[in-house]
Amino acid sequence: MGITYAEIGCRNLSASLDFYRGMLGLRPLADPPGPTPPGVAWLDAGPAGIRLVERPDGDLAGWEADDLQRGIRHVGFRVGSVPRYAERLAAAGVEFTLGPFQAPGDVWIAFFRDPDGANLEIVDRYLRYTTVVSPDLAEEERRAAERRDPDAGPSFDHVAITVADLDRALAFYRDRLGYRVIGGIDQPHDPRGFRIHFLRAGAAVLEVFSFAAPTTGNPWDPERPRVGLRRIGVGPSGPTAGAADEADLAARLCAAGATPVPGHPGLVTDPDGVPLCAHVPRPGRAPEAAAG
């Protein structure tokens, strides 16, 4: 039940491919999961993929650059060195919305937007968690960071979401889907009472943002054409990946507490309205392409 891809909407697929392939160095997925319909492109980002979907008439559909807004906040890529890679991006004309800077947890981060406003992050090093829950996973991250080439380009690392109730979110992702909590980071100088919990989700990570301050509603609407951050692909990983189809997987997600989206087979939402698309990666069949 790990993260298999992040879906990002764009107004012009060719322009977005120039950005993700030219700026970020992602490659076309060598073996996409079945036929790729017009207006869709799959990119290989390492541990998980990027699915670009063209929506010429789309907009951000209410998404705001405020982490108190529930829903998908950003997609993060790990690089060898944030300062080095940020220089390359800046030289190519990318404008940063935040950073580069050294964040709590002793990692370097920087935020920027893609051509249609999707919020993206680059991060380096390994996190020194305020609280470690799974020492083996934290040690695995440390060893991977030490092996990483300082000139390494972007590789899929995480998706961040904001939730209203941390306990409810952990009950869904940790207790029912089986994501292991690696650890947590407190933001001691943030007046909103900001905390981040990091959960291993297959080969990627789910960052769960929670706040002592009230959060605002998730504006996601499956019927509205949307560019930017659209949904998260989730599915089984490892040797059992072919054991189910999308309908069976969606049913399992609903049994775990997700809510089905009427009229959109394979699409469900988590307790905070985050859209999750059931995805069983295997040759010969693409996942259902739901609208919105």
Q: Are residues 42 and 146 in the same domain?
A: no
Q: What is the pLDDT of residues 249-269, one digit of tens each?
A: 999 999 999 999 999 999 999
Q: Which two tokens stand for residue 18?
A: 């120039």
Q: Are residues 83 and 164 in the same domain?
A: yes
**CATH number of the CATH domain containing 176:** 3.10.180.10
Provide the residue range defining the domain that includes 42: 2-61+220-278
Cross-strand pairs, 270: none
pLDDT attached to residue 106? 95
3-class DSSP state of 12 = coil
Question: What is the mean predicted confidence (pLDDT) over 64-81?
Answer: 97
> Residue 284 falls within a domain, yes or no?
no
Residue with tokens 């300082």: 150
Quote the percentage of the chain above a pLDDT of 90: 86
Contact 290, 261 (CB under 8 A): yes
Q: Are residues 191 and 235 in the same domain?
A: no
Q: Are residues 165 and 77 in the same domain?
A: yes
How many residues appear in the chain? Answer: 292
Q: Which two tokens stand for residue 287?
A: 């996942």
What is each CA distance from 278 to 19, 72, 98, in whole angstroms?
27, 17, 32
Cβ neighbours for 51, distance < 8 A, ≥ 6 positions apart: 5, 6, 7, 8, 40, 41, 42, 43, 233
Q: Are residues 77 and 203 in the same domain?
A: yes
Q: Are residues 229 and 199 in the same domain?
A: no
- pLDDT grade, residue 29 (50/70/90)? confident
Q: Which residue has the higher pLDDT, 242 or 258?
A: 258
Contact 111, 166 (CB under 8 A): no
Q: Are residues 90 and 175 in the same domain?
A: yes
- pLDDT grade, residue 31 (50/70/90)? confident
Instruction: Round to whole Å and give the CA distance between 184 and 207.
Output: 9
pLDDT attached to residue 238? 56
Residue 205 above 60 pLDDT?
yes
Give the end of a domain, one of 191, 210, 229.
Answer: 210
Q: Are residues 86 and 143 in the same domain?
A: yes
Minimum mean pLDDT range among 89-103, 105-119, 205-219, 234-248: 234-248
Give the end of a domain, one of 189, 210, 231.
Answer: 210
Contact 169, 272 (CB under 8 A): yes
Strand 96-103 to strand 107-113: parallel, antiparallel, or no bridges (unpaired)?
Answer: antiparallel
Instruction: Round to whole Å and give the CA distance between 81 and 88.
Output: 11
Please, what is the Cα angle at 76 between 277 and 288, to 5 degrees? 15
Question: What is the mean predicted confidence (pLDDT) over 277-288?
Answer: 60
pLDDT attached to residue 288? 38
Question: What is the mean predicted confidence (pLDDT) over 82-100?
Answer: 94
Average pLDDT value over all residues in the chain: 92
pLDDT attached to residue 285? 37
Question: What is the mean predicted confidence (pLDDT) over 175-201?
Answer: 96
